Amino acid sequence: MKQLSVEHLLGIKYLNKNDIDLIFETANHFKEVINRPIKKVPSLRDITIANLFFENSTRTKLSFELAEKRLSSDIINFSASQSSVKKGETLIDTVNNILAMKVDIVVMGHPNVGAGVFLSKHVDAKIINAGDGTHEHPTQALLDSYSIKEKLGSLKGKKIVIVGDVLHSRVALSNIFALKLQGAEVKVCGPTTLIPKHIESLGVKVETNIQKALEWCDVANVLRVQHERMDVKYFPSTREYTQLFGINNEILDNLGKKITIMHPGPINRGVEITSEVADSDQSIILNQVENGVAVRMAVIYLLAQQIKR
Amino acid sequence: MSKKVLLNSKEIEIILHRLACQLIENHNDFSNTALIGLQPRGSFLAKRLASILTNDYHVKNIHLGLLDITFYRDDFRRRDEPLEATDTQIDFLIENKNVVLIDDVLFSGRSVRAGLTAIQSYGRPKNIELLVLIDRRFSRHLPIQPNYKGRQVDAIDKEKVIVHWKESHTKDGIYLENK
């Protein structure tokens, strides 16, 4: 039976290899769907999905919304900035009020770690974590792996380096879980202040020299410096960060091989990556965006399949 | 459980040639016709017919496509077994074409209904016809009838029509199984 082993998508941590394979296989079909003249299927026409975003998010929200519309589900959108959350309502109350309107699936982005897990224990709906603080962002990791697999054929034995602000990145943690599960080798590279302590216990290696890291890898997943999550200064200046960890054509040309460049967006052009690199043929940044819709369609479809009438 | 042979490989061969000739009568040189096999089982029949048309009747440039209807089915979330999608392979435009949907067994008509919706995602066909190898009459849930049929079968609900193709089994054969 081809079904996910989990009832919610709270993090990659809870998935197994078969789940990831099933999601990718289903995403392949949806990728074909979104490239048709009419890019829509009627599968989820009796499912209602609430997109709850308690923090600013543009591309994740758009990508989820598009995926839901392509599957013909009904959608309600909620963003905390315009809601009663500001009036002091609790998360469970907010969500239960929305669920009273007969919602089947909740897609939630939240600034607090574990918000999705907490919610899944208290409300009767499928929960999809669209990012919980600095913890996990499972659909981003899935679309990253899917994009690497599409480009390189397989992840087994491939060398991936995650560059930049690993400390504040939920993309990094989910990526590490997803890549390791599929047999890839993972290194993280960035200023020591932005690399979490004990990250080696997850089976990844740490490198602080960008040149060495890029020479080692097949794929570099470049992260944004998340100023909004930084309570103290982690490096002296943006200029210094760019000089030490910024990726430009000069570094890439000296590698002697062509590596693949990824970025979960939004890009700070000229900080972690130059425009020339972001727009080069080595970059698969826009493929990631397209694959994001297909992978999210797959996740929503597979979870909706478990909701029996 | 009993199993009865409905058609043997020789009879299937004769029927396939007859269906091919009927298609030629209505579609001339097939220049504006698309043969679309409904995945997974209709694709064997569609491929076989396309090969007979090409090799035995020298029809050139047949547009053959395979259509997956999983995401258009009306029993999503209503079955115990999850639905499993297969590939869609349609590398030409359907717009303004004469489409022949092809499936092995016509039973309730629900797969064909899903196919009719699914094919619209590739454009607006000029018209759509239905070709089936086995038409189980008296079992329809929807008002759908084939334009071309190999053999009409009267079977009760407890009976199941099983189609074996030499591509997936050792030889062609159609059986009626009593559950």
Distance CA A15, CA A178 (A): 9
Instruction: Please give the pLDDT value at position B156.
Output: 83
Tell me: pLDDT of A128 over 70.
yes
Residue of chain B minimizing CA distance to A301: B71
Contact B71 A307 (CB under 8 A): no
CB–CB contact A309 B81 (8 Å): no
Q: B70–A29: do the CB atoms touch at under 8 Å?
A: yes
CB B115 within 8 A of CB B67: yes
Instruction: Assess whether pLDDT exceeds 90 at residue A130.
Output: yes
Query: Is A170 within 8 Å of A135 (Cβ atoms)?
Result: yes
Q: In the beta sheet, which residues pair with residue A159? A: A185
Chain A residue with minimum CA distance to B122: A37
User: Between chains, do B77 and A26 touch, taking CB under 8 Å as contact?
Assistant: no
Q: Which residue has the tokens 């997974």?
A: B40
* Euclidean distance between CA atoms A98 and A86, whole angstroms: 16
* Phi/psi at A271 (5° precision): -100, -80
A-chain residues near B122 (CB < 8 A): 36-38
Best mean pLDDT range from A29-38, A62-71, A116-125, A191-200: A62-71
DSSP string, A65-93: HHHHHHTT-EEEEEEGGGSGGGGT--HHH
Confidence at residue A200, expressed as pLDDT on a 0 to 100 scale? 93
* Secondary structure of chain B in HEC code, one letter for each residue: CEEEEEECHHHHHHHHHHHHHHHHHHHCCCCCEEEEEECCCHHHHHHHHHHHHHHCCCCCCCEEEEECCHHHCCCCCCCCCCCCCCCCECCCCCCCCEEEEEEEEECCCHHHHHHHHHHHHHCCCCEEEEEEEEEEECCCCCCCCCCEEEEEEECCCCEEEEEECCCCCCCCEEEEEEC
Nearest CA to CA, how far is B138 from chain A (Å)?
28
Count of CA atoms in the C-beta half-sphere (13 A) of A109: 26
Task: Give me the domains of chain B, ranges plus CATH numbers.
Answer: 29-158 (3.40.50.2020)
What per-residue confidence (pLDDT) applies to A89? 79
Share of chain A above pLDDT 90, in %: 74
- The least confident of A26-30, A177-181, B158-162 is B158-162
B55: which residues sit within 8 A by CB, 6+ positions away?
none
- Listing DSSP states for A11-53 in one string gives -GGG--HHHHHHHHHHHHHHHHHTTSSS----TTTT-EEEEEE
Contact residues for B96 (Cβ-Cβ < 8 A; gap 6+): B32, B123, B124, B125, B126
Q: Do A40 and B121 touch (CB under 8 A)?
A: yes
Q: For chain A, what percent of residues have pLDDT higher than 70?
A: 97
CA pair distance A54, A92, nearest whole angstrom: 13
CA–CA gap between residue B157 and residue B34 (Å, rounded): 33
Instruction: Provide mean pLDDT across the span A255-284.
Output: 92
Nearest chain A Cα distance for residue B152, angstroms: 32
Q: In chain A, what's the furthest Cα-to-Cα distance? A: 59
Q: Which among B77, B88, B120 has CB closest to A32?
A: B88
Distance from CA of A139 to the nearest CA of B (A): 21
ipTM value greater than 0.95: no
Instruction: Give me the pLDDT at residue A83, please.
Output: 64
Identify the bridge partners of residue A206 per DSSP, sorted by sequence position. A188
Which residue from B minimizes the CA distance to A27? B85
Q: Rounded to the nearest 5°, which phi and psi values hold at B127?
A: -155, 165
CA distances in angstroms from A161 to B54, B165, B179, listed in the order given: 52, 49, 57
Model pLDDT for residues A189-239, shown as the tens digit of each residue: 999 999 999 999 999 999 999 999 999 999 999 998 877 777 778 888 888
Q: Which pLDDT score, from 0 to 100, does residue B78 have?
A: 83
CB atoms within 10 A of CB B76: 21
pLDDT digits (tens, 9 = 90+) for B156-168: 878 889 999 988 8
pLDDT grade for A82, boundaries at 50, 70 and 90: low
pLDDT bin (cut points 50, 70, 90) of residue A251 is very high
Q: Which parts of chain B have pLDDT scores under 70?
A: none
Peptide bond into A42 cis (omega under 30): no
State the sign of the Cα–Cα–Cα–Cα dihedral A54, A59, A64, A66.
positive
**The tokens 């009767």 sit on which residue?**
A124
Q: Which residues of B touch A69 (CB under 8 A)?
A: none
Q: What is the pLDDT of residue A84?
A: 62
Average pLDDT, chain A: 91
| pLDDT for position A85 | 66
The region of weakest confidence among A5-9, A43-47, B82-86, B143-147 is B82-86
Least Cα separation, residue B177 to chain A (angstroms): 24
pLDDT for residue B55: 95
- Quick check: A66 and A72 in contact, CB under 8 A? no
Residues of A with CB under 8 A from a CB of B: 1-3, 26, 29, 32-33, 36-44, 71, 301, 304-305, 307-309
Query: Residues spanned by CATH 3.40.50.1370 within chain A?
Result: 12-136+289-304, 138-284
Q: Give the Cα separation of A118 and A22 in Å (integer).
A: 26
The verdict on domain A138-284 having CATH code 3.40.50.1370 is yes
Give the CA distances from residue A34 to residues A39, A107, A164, A175, B121, in Å, rounded to whole numbers and listed in that order: 5, 21, 32, 25, 10
Give A139: exposed, middle or buried? Use CB within 10 Å, 0-12, 13-18, 19+.
buried
Residue A58: is its pLDDT beyond 90?
A: no
- The confidence score (pLDDT) of residue B125 equals 95
Alpha-carbon radius of gyration of chain B: 16
Fold of A12-136+289-304: Rossmann fold (3.40.50)
